[in-house]
């Protein structure tokens, strides 16, 4: 019997990288899984890989109406939801001087505002007990150049793990953060930098990792399985760093 047998799980940003690998691991552990994405090709690839084993839904993570529509779509199919993994994110890094209001607002909408209102929209669906996993980042703990807006958004998201756990604990909803360190995912190619600047930043990031390598999506997915499962039922309002020691060594 799988560790997530009988559970229904929603993974946002589940068409690539950590989200996609987490979907694979959740399915392998017996969960019914729904994933979201905004790319038609990415959603089509998920449907080809999983067939009827996964529900693939188009959703724009930073759009509030889209979050409400997502909750409605799930309620048409599932009576309850046991696990939410908020993984969709905007990873834009750039110097402070290069930010404008529109780009800042777009990043905050995707990384903080959208997740907040998705959790709100899903409140009637959450089972008792249930687990909400918020994908943070070790960047919230360090002073990595050019990560200012991104790190601030992840700090806010990780704060929700504490405040919402305090608010929702009577309903059996526990909220925790799962914070990757530098991880080999397609997101590393979407930092919004020129080629040379991106290459230099990636090398700087690698040098930050005490164990000398980047993490893998599988390592993060295995941690997500733990937080989604009943094995972590006494883990509430905290953060699990899976970062190669970046945040502590």
HSE-CB of 41 using CA atoms within 13 angstroms = 0
Catalytic residue numbers read 150
Beta strand spans in 40-123 (E): 54-58, 81-86
Three-state DSSP at 20 gives helix
Pairing of strands 81-86, 239-242: unpaired
Rounded to 5 degrees, what are φ and ψ at 105?
Answer: -65, -40
Distance CA 87, CA 19 (A): 6
Question: What is the SS3 string spanning 141-176?
Answer: CCCCCCCHHHHHHHHHHHHHHHHHHHHHHHHCEEEE
CA-based nearest residue to 177, from 163, 191, 193, 196: 163
CA-based nearest residue to 81, from 43, 25, 34, 120: 34
Query: How far are the Cα atoms of 9, 114, 130, 178 from residue 233, in angstroms, in the given order?
Result: 16, 26, 9, 15
**Which token pair is 37?**
């994405």
């Amino acid at each position: 019997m799988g560790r997530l047998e009988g559970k229904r799980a929603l993974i946002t940003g589940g068409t690539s990288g950590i989200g996609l690998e987490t979907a694979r691991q959740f399915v392998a552990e017996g969960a019914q899984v729904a994933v979201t994405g905004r790319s038609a090709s990415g959603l089509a690839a998920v449907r080809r890989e999983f067939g009827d084993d996964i529900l693939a839904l188009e959703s724009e993570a930073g759009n509030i109406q889209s979050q409400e529509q997502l909750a409605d779509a799930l309620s048409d199919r599932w009576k309850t939801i046991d696990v939410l993994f908020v993984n969709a994110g905007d990873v834009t890094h750039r110097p402070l001087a290069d930010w404008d209001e529109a780009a800042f607002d777009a990043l905050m909408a995707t990384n903080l505002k959208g997740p907040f209102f998705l959790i709100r929209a899903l409140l009637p669906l959450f089972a008792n007990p249930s687990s909400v996993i918020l994908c943070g980042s070790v960047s919230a703990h360090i002073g990595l150049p050019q990560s200012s807006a991104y790190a601030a958004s992840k700090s806010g998201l990780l704060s929700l793990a504490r405040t919402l756990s305090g608010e929702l604990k009577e309903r059996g909803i526990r909220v925790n953060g799962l914070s990757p360190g530098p991880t080999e995912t397609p997101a590393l190619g979407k930092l919004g930098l020129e080629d040379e600047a991106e290459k230099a930043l990636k090398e700087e990031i690698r040098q930050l990792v005490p164990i000398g390598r980047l993490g893998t999506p599988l390592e993060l997915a295995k941690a997500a399985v733990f937080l989604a499962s009943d094995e972590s039922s006494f883990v509430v309002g905290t953060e699990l760093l899976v970062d190669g020691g970046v945040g502590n060594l």
